[in-house]
Amino acid sequence: MSTVELKVKGMTCTHCEMRVKKALEAVEGVQSAKADHKAGKATVTLKLGAGVDKQKLVDAVNDTEIYTAEA
């Protein structure tokens, strides 16, 4: 397993965290995700050998059209 951390802008509450988490966990190869609105980041754990491109994770957050992410 490997872990990727993203900076996420626009989160203000735990509801925001859940939306970001759900968006990230919908990406194939993601095992789990955790978002922290106070820290402005999301931590993503990838499945072993998944080879998920960081840009796919950034795009998943940006596709919410509410939050923005960068690797």
Q: Please give the residue that has the higher pLDDT: either 14 or 50.
A: 14
Residue 58 and residue 5 in contact, taking contact as beta carbons nearer than 8 Å: no
What are the tens digits of pLDDT across the range 40-67? 999 999 999 888 999 999 999 999 999 9
Separation of alpha carbons 54 and 33, rounded Å: 13
- The values of phi and psi at residue 45, to 5°, are -105, 125
Alpha carbons 30 and 9: distance in angstroms, whole number? 21
Q: Are the CB atoms for 40 and 26 separated by under 8 Å?
A: no
Q: What whole-number percentage of the chain has pLDDT above 90?
A: 93
Domains of the chain as residue ranges with CATH: 2-70 (3.30.70.100)
Structure tokens at 28: 């194939």
